[in-house]
Amino acid sequence: MSGFRIDVVTIFPEYLAPLGQSLLGRAAARGLVSVGVHDLRQWTDDVHRTVDDAPYGGGPGMVMRPEPWARALEAVRPPGTRLVVPTPAGRPFTQA
């Protein structure tokens, strides 16, 4: 194993099941990469496994609750590793 590890935390882990049949799945089968898909709802603390809530102060839509994310990252992310969070406010990804 090369030590390259990818962990994905999502509220829809079943959507990522096809990764096992992709190039990434073949790389994992050869031991080149380790891929973990985790359900964010396992780090909630209420009976309904709530991961979102209405925005503070009102308004349309929902926002993600920070508590499940904090617990998930603490459980999944090894110390000293890089964290990549896709966001519209982030720096564009390029392969260069």
Asked if 37 and 16 touch (Cβ cutoff 8 Å), the reply is yes
Torsion of CA 67, 70, 76, 79, to 10 degrees: -160
What domains, with CATH codes, occur in the chain? 5-76 (3.40.1280.10)
Q: What pLDDT score was predicted for residue 2?
A: 56
Per-chain mean pLDDT for the chain: 90
Residue 1: pLDDT over 60: no
* Nearest partner of 71 among 95, 87, 93, 49, judged by Cα: 49
pLDDT in tens, 2-21: 568 999 999 999 999 998 88
The tokens describing 86, both together, are 């896709």
The residue among 87 and 23 whose pLDDT is bigger is 23
